[in-house]
Amino acid sequence: CEADLLKAEPALVAATAALNTLNRINLTELKVFPNPPNAVTNVTAAVMVLLAPRGRVPKDRSWKAAKVFMGKVDDFLQALINYDKEHIPDNCLQVVKEQYLKDPEFNPNFIRTKSFAAAGLCAWVINIVKFYEVYCDVEPKRQALAQTNLELAAATEKLETIRKKLVDLDRHLSRLTASFEKAIAEKIRSQEEANRTNTTIALANRLVTELETEKTRWGQSIRSFEAQEKTLCGDVLLAAAFVSYGGPFTRLYRRDLVACEWVPFLHKTSIPITKGLDVIAMLTDDATVAAWNNEGLPSDRMSTENATILTQWERWPLMIGPQQQGIKWIK
C-alpha cells in the first residue's frame, strides 16, 4: 500500500513545482491577455472546473469568465496551494479528463510557448489529476491495511510460539543464503567472463572484416606503387628539368618545352614516365597551394609554377615581377 502511495509522490512534487513557477507577476501578465490562444483558455477553463465550489462545473468557462474567476491574484494562487487534492468531485474530474486532458495541445511544453504562467497551471492540472487517480486507487488499500493490522494484533500471540521454530529455520536459512550468495557470485563472474569473451570475439570479427576491406585497398596500392616504380626515374627527371630550366620562360613556352621537347625525348630514349604527368602536382599538393594563395600568391597557373620552382630550387633565383604580384607572398 505504501509503495503504491509513493507512486503519487512524483505527481504531487510536479504539481508543487508547477505552483512554484507561478507568482503575482506572471499571473497578472496572464490576466491582461486580451484574446489568448485556445490552448491558454483551455488551461484556465480546466482550472475553473477543478476549483469549482461544491463540484458545480461552471457553464461559462470563457476567457472573460476566467479573468473574473482569477480575480485577486493572491487569493487565486492561495486557492491553488490549498486545493483539496484528495477529494476531487467526480463530475469535475470527468469534465477535465474528457474535454481538456485528451487535447494534444494540453501540454506544458506547448503551452509555455504561449504563456509561462499558463504552462505552470497546465502542469498543475495534469499532475493533480494524476495524484488523485493514484490516491483513489490506494485509499481502499489503506482501509484494508487498517483491518489487517487489527487481525495482526490478534495473531501476535500465536506468532510467539512460531518464533521458536523460526530460530532453527533462520540458522538453516543462513547456511542456504551463504551458499546462494556464493553461487550468485560465481554466476556473475562467469557472466562477466562470457561478456569479455563475446566482446573480444566481436572485436576480432570487426578486425577481420576491416582487414578484408583493407586487403583490396592494399592490393590497389601495391599495383599503383609498382606502376609508379617503373615511371619514377622519368617523372623525377622531368620534374628536375622543369625546376632547373623552366624558370626563365613564359607559361606557353614552358608547356611547349615539356610537351613538345622533353616528353618526346624521354619516350625516344625509352625512359618511361607517367602518362599525362602534371609536374606541379608531383612537386607540391593542393593544401600547399591553398596556403600560398592565402598568403597572397595569385591563383593563376603561372604564379603557382613560379612558387613551386622557387620553393624547390636550392639556389637563390632571380625574380622579376613587373606587376609586383608576388611581393606580398614573398614577404
Please tell me which of 131-145, 174-188, 215-229 the model is most confident about, judged by mean pLDDT. Answer: 174-188
Residues 263-317 have pLDDT tens digits of: 888 888 888 888 878 888 888 888 988 988 888 888 888 888 878 877 777 776 6
Nearest alpha carbon to residue 96 among 52, 144, 155: 52
pLDDT at 110: 92
Whether pLDDT at 328 is above 80: no
pLDDT at 12: 62
Q: What is the pTM of this model?
A: 0.44
Whether pLDDT at 6 is above 70: no
pLDDT at 148: 83
> For the domain 2-146, what is the CATH code?
1.20.920.60
Mean pLDDT of all residues in 159-176: 84
Fold entry, domain 246-330: Rossmann fold (3.40.50)
CATH 1.20.920.60 domain locations along the chain: 2-146
CATH 3.40.50.300 domain locations along the chain: 246-330
Residues 31-48 have pLDDT tens digits of: 888 889 999 999 899 889
pLDDT at 1: 53
Q: Which residue has the cell 505552483?
A: 19
Whether pLDDT at 30 is above 80: yes
Exposure b/e, 58-89, CB count within 10 A at least 16 = b: beebebebbeebbeebeebbeebeebebeebe
d(CA 179, CA 52): 62
Tell me the pLDDT band of 204, cut-offs 50, 70 and 90: confident
Tell me the pLDDT band of 258, cut-offs 50, 70 and 90: confident
Residues 126-162 have pLDDT tens digits of: 888 888 888 887 777 777 777 888 888 888 888 888 8
Whether pLDDT at 95 is above 60: yes
Mean pLDDT of the chain: 82
d(CA 283, CA 263): 17
8 A C-beta contact, residue 305 and residue 326 = no
pLDDT at 107: 92
pLDDT at 2: 60
All three cell numbers of 307: 612558387
Exposure b/e, 226-252, CB count within 10 A at least 16 = b: eeeeebeebbeebbebbbeebbeeeee
